[in-house]
């Protein structure tokens, strides 16, 4: 059964695209959604909206009124459903990573690079502000201004903290290697 607005559209002499769109949406949004959902489209609601968005620019050249809109809507919905399955076929299955089931015993390349230099242990010996400024400036590659904003300090204080942190890090590294 057609909605009252659809009756208004059918009775109207002029082909008003806005009225046709509203009538088509009111009458066919549910069935289009149901079709897409029944065909197994993952996000049937989003695809339904996409179908109606694609309909609107075509209304100026559409022939057949409400019945023509219905035919076009279901043609577009079918095409979107086919696209969905084609995309699904080309996409590899995603499997969530479960650390408990990972039997590998080798450390990551990052851990090996940082760990072999002993940087992590040296960093842990630094004061909290020194670790923070080095992490933000060197590791995260943030500017002095960005680091100052994050730490709630002036730019001059950040520069001074970085200088002191690098100096302390150098002294600890030399001491560890027996050179001081």
Whole-number percent of the chain with pLDDT over 90: 43
Residue indicated by tokens 């001491």: 175
Q: Which of 60, 90, 120 is the last residue of a domain?
A: 90
Domain of 165? 108-176
Burial class (CB in 10 A: 0-12, 13-18, 19+), 174: exposed
Q: How much is the pTM?
A: 0.48
Q: Give the whole-angstrom CA distance, residue 147 versus residue 129.
A: 11
**Does 68 have pLDDT greater than 80?**
yes
Residue 103: inside a domain, yes or no? no
58 with 112, same domain: the answer is no
Same domain? For 86 and 142 the reply is no
CATH number of the domain residue 115 falls in: 1.10.10.10
Is the pLDDT at 98 greater than 60? The verdict is yes
The answer on 127 and 83 residing in a single domain is no
- pLDDT (0 to 100) of residue 12: 43
Mean local confidence (pLDDT), 74-83: 93
Question: Into how many domains does the chain fold?
Answer: 2
Of 26, 57, 90, the residue at which a domain comes to its end is: 90
Q: 45-57, pLDDT tens digit by residue?
A: 999 999 999 999 9
User: What pLDDT is recorded for position 11?
Assistant: 46
> Based on the domain organization, do 64 and 113 belong to the same domain?
no
Residue given tokens 């549910």 in the structure block: 30
Instruction: Identify the pLDDT of residue 55.
Output: 95
Question: Tokens for 66?
Answer: 């409400």
Of 22, 57, 90, at which residue does a domain stop? Answer: 90
Instruction: Rank 96-100, 112-116, 149-153 by mean pLDDT and report only the highest.
Output: 149-153
Pairwise CA distance, residues 91 & 160, whole Å: 51
């Amino acid at each position: 059964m057609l909605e009252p607005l659809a009756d208004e559209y059918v009775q109207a002499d002029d082909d008003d695209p806005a009225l046709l769109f509203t009538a088509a949406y009111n009458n066919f949004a549910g069935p289009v959604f149901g079709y897409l959902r029944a065909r197994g489209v993952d996000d049937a609601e989003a695809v339904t909206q996409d179908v109606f968005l694609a309909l609107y620019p075509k209304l100026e050249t559409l022939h057949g009124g409400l019945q023509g809109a219905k035919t076009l809507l279901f043609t577009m919905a079918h095409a979107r459903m086919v696209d969905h399955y084609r995309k699904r076929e080309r996409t590899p299955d995603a499997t969530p990573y479960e650390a408990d089931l990972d039997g590998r015993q080798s450390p990551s390349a990052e851990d090996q690079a940082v760990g072999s230099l002993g940087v992590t242990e040296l960093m842990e010996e630094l004061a909290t502000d020194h670790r923070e400024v080095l992490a933000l400036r060197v590791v995260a590659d943030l500017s002095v201004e960005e680091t100052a904003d994050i730490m709630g300090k002036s730019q001059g204080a950040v520069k001074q903290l970085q200088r002191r942190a690098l100096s302390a890090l150098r002294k600890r590294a030399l001491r560890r290697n027996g050179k001081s």
